[in-house]
Amino acid sequence: MHVVTVGTIALDSVKTPEAARHDQLGGSASYAALSASYFSPVHIVSIVGKDFPQEYLDFFRSRGIGTESIEVVEGGTFRWSGEYFDDMNTRETLSVAVNVLEQFKPRLERDARQAQMVLLANCSPDNQLEALAQVTAPSFVVADSMDLWINIARERLSQVLERTDLFVINDIEARMFMETKNTITAGHRLLELGPRHVVVKKGEHGALLFGQAGAFFSAAAYPLHEVRDPTGAGDSFAGGIAGYLAGLGKPQFAFEDLARAAVYGTVMASFNCESFSTDRLQALSRDEIETRFTDFQRYSRF
Check residue 220 for interaction with a copy of itself (CB under 8 A): yes
User: Quick count: other Cβ atoms within 10 Å of Cβ 144?
Assistant: 31
* Contact flag: residue 241 with a copy of itself (CB under 8 A): no
Looking at beta carbons only, is 57 or 220 nearer to a copy of itself? Answer: 220
Q: CB-based contacts of 218: which residues, under 8 Å, 6+ apart?
A: 206, 207, 208, 209
The one segment of 8-16, 142-150, 214-222, 245-253 that binds a copy of itself by CB under 8 A: 214-222
C-beta of 177: minimal distance to a copy of itself in Å?
Answer: 15
162 binds a copy of itself (CB under 8 A): no
15 lies in the binding site for a copy of itself (CB under 8 A): no
What single-letter amino acid sits at 190? L
Task: For 230, list phi and psi in degrees, rounded to 5.
Answer: -80, 0
Site residue total, a copy of itself (CB under 8 A): 36
Neighbours of 192 (CB within 10 A): 10
Give the residue, chosen from 6, 29, 227, 284, that forms a contact with a copy of itself under the rule CB under 8 A. Answer: 227
Please identify, among the stretches 26-34, 70-78, 105-113, 184-192, the one whose residues bind a copy of itself according to the rule CB under 8 A: 184-192
Spatial contact of 35 and 63, defined as CB atoms under 8 Å apart: no
Q: Is 9 exposed, middle or buried (0-12, 13-18, 19+ CB in 10 A)?
A: buried
Q: Minimum CB separation from a copy of itself for residue 137, in Å?
A: 29
End-to-end CA distance of the chain, in Å?
A: 34
Residue 162: phi and psi, rounded to 5, are -65, -25
Q: Which is nearer to a copy of itself, 57 or 224 (CB)?
A: 224
Q: Which residues bind a copy of itself (CB under 8 A)?
A: 86-88, 181-185, 188, 202, 204-206, 208, 216-221, 223-227, 256, 259-260, 262-263, 297-302
